[in-house]
Structure 1
């Protein structure tokens, strides 16, 4: 790696729905879940109950497929008042297991953006979720060689970014975080002193939404990763 330009030296990337598709598979599984419980609850009401279960369970189960599957089981028990058939529970478990084998589809411009930046900047993957699942997705994506470090964390806060950008770079002030979640990728990174580049995805989990820090001098909004290089050049 050549010496980075003065200023920006490290770029962090989120993984799910920033570099590859992810949320669409959860949405498909949720529809499957709604079909299994159609005799007990309307799809919209069931979705709301499931979201509340996920919200409650984040501290206990964390982010990822295991927590999602356990929340589906809990919701099924609640809406059926404990009468959910064992066969349905089995199918819910199967649906969660199927999430662990979905194909990895890098998003448009993802590889090209990493190729453009990897020669001049330290690239760090910073992602939440199940350890084994995130490792599997990174391996299958074919993008792993672009990163000098990979961090799979339980949550993303300003303290997380301060720690990781100090460990893998020159501190948060000389770092940039790129991701599709305002709540996890952008707002806390900016609070830590980094740049935050928001790349919206058409599907974003309700618990990852937040208000954009539009007036902040280190906040940028791009439509896709093909626009990232220009933003990086101006920041660096």
Structure 2
């Protein structure tokens, strides 16, 4: 392994290895129904997004912050007139989101199984610690990873630190994920390969332009294309 150009592979979790955003979208639809008498659904979604962006610096990424943002949005839209019953229902749909089943993405298991042992595999995800640990356990994918990193955010510094901990330089690492902003752009900035695996539902906050001109940027349709791509980089 020490002579290979690629020795470490990092994987994002949400919407790369298992479904995630679709559950947030369903919860948002329920939230809009709760506030239907106060505002149109599009307006509710817009105000909720504004609250989420404001609150990232306070609550970070994850369901708990999303639930608090829903409550804040309800208070704002209703000018404080939202009933305790509605607040209770918001808390309930937030708890439901914490308990949603884990649905792995196509080709996730077989890809990890094929790579495990030949490469140092690291799960790198951001969000609520308890929720991410729950999803990893329920996914049945945990045994394939040599290390798990649950972080508050993903930056070039984050990737240099994590890949450096493996004993190999970031230049010999690859990050695989569905978010250009969190998984791909900062990994490439750290000197690693960035492999973009698009998902049809990606949170708008994670949208940035593709680093198409970057020599270490790659894109595949799904995880089935990862091993053939790795073969082109070299063993």
- CA contact under 8 A between 1:57 and 1:71: conserved in structure 2? yes
Q: Which residue of 2 aligns with 1:30?
A: 28
**Number of residue equivalences:** 234
Aligned match for 1:209, one of 207, 210, 213: 207
Q: Which residue of 2 aligns with 1:231?
A: 229
* TM superposition score normalised by structure 2: 0.98
1:165 Cα deviation after fit? 0.3
**Structure 1 stretches of at least 4 aligned residues deviating more than 4 Å after TM superposition:** none
- CA contact under 8 A between 1:122 and 1:169: conserved in structure 2? no
1:116 Cα deviation after fit? 1.2
- CA contact under 8 A between 1:14 and 1:179: conserved in structure 2? yes
RMSD over aligned Cα atoms: 0.8
Q: Which residue of 1 aligns with 2:76?
A: 78
Aligned match for 1:61, one of 59, 78, 87: 59
1:96-135 alignment runs, 5 A limit? 96-135=94-133
Q: Which residue of 1 aligns with 2:144?
A: 146
1:119 Cα deviation after fit? 2.3
Aligned match for 2:92, one of 90, 94, 100: 94
Q: Which residue of 2 aligns with 1:181?
A: 179
* TM superposition score normalised by structure 1: 0.98
